[in-house]
Amino acid sequence: MNDLKKLINHSRQDINKKLKSLLSPTKKHNKSLLDAMTYSSLSPGKRLRSFLILSISSILKVPKEFALRVASACEFVHTYSLIHDDLPSMDDANLRRGKQSCHIAFNEATAILAGDALLTLAFEIIAHEKTHPNPLIRCKLSHSLAKAIGFNGMVAGQMLDIESEKKTLNIEEITNLQNLKTGNLFNFSCIAPCILSSADKIIYQALEKFSYNIGLVFQITDDLLNHNGDTKIIGKPTNIDEKKHKKTFVSILGTNTALKLAKTLTEQAINSLNPLKDKANFLKKFAYFIIKRNR
Ligand code: GRG
């Protein structure tokens, strides 16, 4: 596990450097907007989605610069979703990554615009020829990302999440909600390297299964941390789900059954990696790391 932590730390340093360079001032930039984008993007995120993109890209022999650009796009989308998720009309959370949420550190209008600008920046990065010389590959990446996060993806998951405050959900419904809200971006993180490398169908399918299984494991551990984690360690408020009557795996199944489900999904994630043989060893360790995480 220590080797894996070293790999994750190393990839975090690489991605942080890249994010910083992609947020460099330009002749036309607006200072308040860029400050807010930089504040939220460079705050201490775990960069787990980037780790998946960089490490799977390394297995599939994708040039590092291509992988770093796609990972940056993914982190910018992720940061946009967190900024908007914290807004008073959404989760109304004042703490994120151990720091004031963007709308508290700046103001609500600036936070909305910073989220919008990060989302569009992600597509600007993917569409640039530095991300891949083949325009068809760039187009496939854009399509895959847009599909993952739009009205049939992450935003739909967020809408279902808000609507869940007023109803009961069964296990199929909460699984669908969380696959959309969280799983889809994990899916993009595992599939983007396949697109960049035009990987075989069998590898693509293996990583597709892996991504949704670890996406759910990640979400169950997030629900558990929200329920009984430590704000000082996780860097965001706890018990928000309960206060807002949000439906989660923990509220529907209880903590013990939710943890059992996470263990089963971890095993499924690991088994789905069989076609990648030994090359996937650290991804298997990553699946255990996700279930054991405390932040
Ligand atoms: C368009 C107004 C508007 C809002 C959209 C899309 C959206 C709001 C919200 C997306 C849903 C969302 C925020 C899901 C949360 C998933 C999740 C548990 C995120 C936390 O991920 P970590 O722990 O975060 O990897 P760090 O901080 O480590 O990067």
Specify the ligand 1 atom closest to the Cα of 235.
27
Under 8 Å between Cβ of 101 and 83: yes
**Average pLDDT value for residue range 57-78:** 98
Cα(292)–Cα(149) distance, rounded to whole angstroms?
Answer: 27
* Interval between CA 261 and ligand 1 midpoint (Å): 22
pLDDT, position 237: 87
pLDDT in tens, 208-231: 999 999 999 999 999 999 998 888
pLDDT, position 295: 87
* Interval between CA 157 and ligand 1 midpoint (Å): 11
Q: What lines the ligand 1 site, CB under 6 Å?
A: 45-46, 48, 78, 81-82, 84-85, 90, 97, 154-155, 158, 181-182, 222
Specify the ligand 1 atom closest to the Cα of 182.
16
* Interval between CA 244 and ligand 1 midpoint (Å): 16
Binned at pLDDT 50, 70 and 90, residue 244 comes out as confident
pTM recorded for the entire structure: 0.96
Considering only CA atoms, which of 133, 45, 50 is closest in space to residue 96? Answer: 45
pLDDT, position 39: 98
| Residue 138 CB contacts under 8 Å (≥ 6 apart), including other chains | 126, 127, 128, 129, 131, 132
**Average pLDDT value for residue range 23-40:** 96
* Interval between CA 221 and ligand 1 midpoint (Å): 14
Smallest CA separation from ligand 1 atom 4, residue = 84
pLDDT, position 13: 98
Q: What is the dihedral of CA 289, 16, 141, 183, to 10 degrees?
A: 30
Name the percent of the chain lying above pLDDT 90: 91
Binned at pLDDT 50, 70 and 90, residue 190 comes out as very high
* Interval between CA 110 and ligand 1 midpoint (Å): 18
Residue 102 has pLDDT above 90, yes or no: yes
Residue 202 has pLDDT above 90, yes or no: yes
Structure tokens at 18: 């890249």
Cα(227)–Cα(101) distance, rounded to whole angstroms?
Answer: 20
Out of 41, 47, 79, 84, mutate this one to test ligand 1's pocket (max ligand atoms within 8 Å of CB): namely 84
Structure tokens at 150: 């739009």
Cα(285)–Cα(124) distance, rounded to whole angstroms?
Answer: 33
pLDDT, position 238: 87
**Average pLDDT value for residue range 45-62:** 98
Residue 1 has pLDDT above 80, yes or no: no
Residue 153 has pLDDT above 80, yes or no: yes
Under 8 Å between Cβ of 212 and 190: no
Cα(211)–Cα(4) distance, rounded to whole angstroms?
Answer: 18
**Average pLDDT value for residue range 72-89:** 98
Smallest CA separation from ligand 1 atom 17, residue = 182
Out of 12, 79, 85, 100, mutate this one to test ligand 1's pocket (max ligand atoms within 8 Å of CB): namely 85
Residue 2 has pLDDT above 90, yes or no: no
